[in-house]
Amino acid sequence: MREFFAFRIQERFGESPIILMSGRLFQQFLVDAYTMIESNRLRYIWLNQKNLRSEHYDKIVDAVAKGKGDLSEQGKRIYIPSSFTGGKRYMMQHYLDAMATCKYYGYPDFFITITCNPKWPEITRYLQKHDLKTEDRPDICCRVFFKMKLDNLVDYLMTGTVLGEINSGKCLK
């Protein structure tokens, strides 16, 4: 399903990109695609709970230890693995990774934020060519921001000429 939606939102020469030029309809298409993909992932996790590898879960172990032989009142719990983006275990894993990085390299000296500007020339040039507004193509803004601007900033900082030698930035690659 994910591959289908990725195929549909790519602009190809020789094809009429009707959905890409549809403005608000394209936005609704993206939202619907996202919800379908997320629900598909959650359904897979729900149906494959026995096959997914997981650790011992404290609440069920505690219920058994307290002598509650009938665990039906505990309800059926669905455990979201750490591979599910945005889940509790995912957040905890990334937090622990960040703490391990801080322990090894020391605490960060700078916290740099960057935001996307919809008036960047790369974005406006493309949108003017197709007679669109910024809100009509959020995928273009994301691609320019994440793939061009953010990668350029990381490469610029990693050269070591701006802020000096960077130690923990090697984890970004």
| pLDDT digit string, tens, across residues 2-14 | 899 989 888 888 8
Distance CA 120, CA 140 (A): 11
pLDDT level of residue 93 (50, 70, 90 thresholds): very high
Instruction: Identify the pLDDT of residue 90.
Output: 94
Sign of CA dihedral 62, 65, 67, 69: positive
Closest CA to 59 of 77, 34, 32: 77
Mean pLDDT of 70-91: 79
**Segment 104-163, tens digit of pLDDT:** 988 888 788 888 889 989 899 988 988 888 888 888 888 888 888 888 888 888 886 777
Distance CA 27, CA 38 (A): 17
